[in-house]
Amino acid sequence: KLLDLRRLSTHGGAMASHLQARRHFAVSRCLTAKVPPERKPRERVEIPGLEMVTYGERMHYVPGLSKPVHPQWERDYKDPRHYRSPPAHEMPLYKEKPCYVYNQRTSALEGVRQALWLTKTKLICGLPPQLLSLAESPANQIPDQDERVQNAIKHARFWDTTEERPGKEKYSNTLLLNLLHLCATLQSSHPAIGRRILAEKYSLAATWKRGEDLFQIRGQNGLLQNCMDPLPEVSGKQEVGDTADHVLETFYPVSPTIDLQKVNVYKEMNCSGFRGDYPYPHAHTLYFLEGADPRCKLRPEQFRAKMFMFTFGNALVRAHNLYGPQRVLDRPVTVQAVGTNGRIFQFMVFQLNTTDLSGDDGIKNQVWLDEDVELYDFAKVRPLIKKKQVKVPAGLAGYKPETFSKFLALYLHGAV
């Protein structure tokens, strides 16, 4: 009996293991997470004085004969579909000194703190009071302002779709364009608004040195509003001079170049993305959408750093075009930025005071940042019901008019 039981257990275990082995028989290798082993290339043994006997002359495979080695065939014409780039060290723009590139998909680990160090900038929380006062005057407000802004929100969240609800990428873009259209209705009372134009899909390139490292900002960013006249400076000479006493915050042991692309093939250049005879040479405001690139989703801190860096890049390029190699600018360059995800807004004003960014001493640049400002609380297609109680009603709820006042103040800056 014991022998029979052992035989049964042995056969049962064998059957179980056999079934276990056949359990994934019809499943592909990628689903079972089995990685095929790497094939080791065969070593070619070349003996001097001996010639390998190949099947090249026979024009077909022959067992026992070695594989012929043919020279690589090169076309006598250029075919972009089969282009092979040369090695990096053979390219004409190759340099031994690396360059650290910040592009539109860079996710900086330290966020705004890292951007402050890279651009030698002093951070000031909140927007300048002289800008906020622009939208408080009744002469600078839109007729029926609150009602029209709420209709713009409802149009973006509820009306501009054939589906049950629009996606985040769609309604954030629609809301931004609606708010810009509302602000543009003040052109009759503020003629300077007509001296502006919106541009997109432009490529920016800005180069500067920070310490012993070389940095570049390259790539395409959000919607840019250009104007014929430059923005006035926000802070006076006394406030600019006081920035020399500011101590930049470091984040040691984290390197300031972390998460930046390190390249050796580059060209030092400062290009705004527009021709020299462009009639709107001055950058006014950059508008960023948080979900504009579905392949690159940034967290709020990294999104603000992206806004910061591209605002700085536009200001730096225009300073080089206007003043050349001048270090401390006689007239600072001011550029603004607005970022949104369709509900929460980020407001930024950057003032470039100096292009001497190599050391930590001397005059610093300035940035005013007002972050995570909500335009409304909820925009629900259907009410939110919990425990048979309506927690959030359907429609627009919690509209905050002071957020649009900040948006309007940045738009009117330079036109009042």
Among 10-19, 27-36, 51-60, 368-377, which is the least confidently predicted range? 10-19
Per-residue pLDDT at 316 exceeds 50: yes
pLDDT over 70, % of the chain: 92
8 pLDDT band (50/70/90 cuts)? very low
Sequence-separated (6 or more) residues with CB below 8 Å from residue 190:
140, 412, 415, 416
226 pLDDT band (50/70/90 cuts)? very high
Sequence-separated (6 or more) residues with CB below 8 Å from residue 384:
378, 390, 391, 392
DSSP line for 194-245: GGEEEE-S-EEEEEEEETTEEEEEEEE-SEEEEESSPPPPSS-HHHHHHGGG
> What's the pLDDT tens digit per position in 177-193?
999 999 999 999 999 99
Per-residue pLDDT at 6 exceeds 70: no
Most confidently modeled of 74-83, 160-169, 258-267, 379-388?
Answer: 258-267
End-to-end CA distance of the chain: 104
Average pLDDT, the chain: 90
pLDDT at residue 27, rounded to an integer = 54
Give the mean pLDDT of 395-404.
Answer: 95
pLDDT at residue 326, rounded to an integer = 79
Give the mean pLDDT of 261-266.
Answer: 96
pLDDT at residue 10, rounded to an integer = 45
> What's the pLDDT tens digit per position in 16-54?
444 444 555 555 555 555 677 888 888 878 888 888 899
Question: Using CA atoms, how far apart are residues 55 and 53, in angstroms rounded to an integer?
Answer: 7
Among 1-10, 217-226, 322-331, 334-343, which is the least confidently predicted range? 1-10
Task: Judge contact between 242 and 126, C-beta under 8 A.
Answer: no
403 pLDDT band (50/70/90 cuts)? very high
Minimal CA–CA distance to 183: which of 280, 285, 279?
285
> What's the pLDDT tens digit per position in 346-357?
999 999 999 999
pLDDT at residue 222, rounded to an integer = 83
pLDDT at residue 24, rounded to an integer = 53
407 pLDDT band (50/70/90 cuts)? very high
